[in-house]
């Protein structure tokens, strides 16, 4: 709740939310005014499972970051507000964010 008080997604600049578990990482682009998920990607996505080679967590986070940037670009979304969900900006979270930036997202 403390993070969500300060970070809010609008239709012009939606929120890129990141959630990580011990095995997987998830990313969503959310419009908070309507309460709608505009794009989503995760390490469980079929697009990533197609080339199912065992990768470490950082490599998987990079792939998820590229995938969320691609899906957001297809929807016409370029600028987002980054919501790291209270996680430290380090490791998998940083790898996902850097990959999303390389994919064309601005935050």
Percent of the chain with pLDDT over 70: 94
Please report where in the chains the tokens 């197609």 appear, as a residue. Answer: 50
Distance CA 82, CA 50 (A): 28
**Cβ pair 9, 92 in contact under 8 A:** no
- 81 has pLDDT over 70: yes
**Cβ pair 104, 67 in contact under 8 A:** no
pTM of the model: 0.88
Quick one: CA torsion of 27, 32, 34, 40, rounded to 10 degrees?
Answer: 0
Give the mean pLDDT of 50-58.
74
Least confident of 3-7, 63-67, 68-72: 3-7
Domains of the chain: 2-102 (3.30.420.100)
């Amino acid at each position: 709740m403390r993070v969500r008080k300060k970070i809010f997604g609008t239709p012009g600049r939606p929120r890129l939310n990141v959630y990580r578990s011990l095995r997987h990482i998830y990313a969503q682009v959310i419009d908070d005014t309507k309460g709608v998920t505009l794009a989503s990607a995760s390490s469980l996505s079929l697009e990533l499972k197609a080339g199912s080679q065992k990768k470490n967590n950082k490599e998987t986070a990079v792939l998820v970051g590229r995938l969320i940037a691609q899906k957001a670009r297809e929807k016409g979304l370029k600028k987002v507000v980054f919501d790291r969900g209270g996680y430290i900006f380090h490791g998998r979270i940083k790898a996902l964010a850097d990959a999303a930036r390389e994919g064309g997202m601005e935050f």
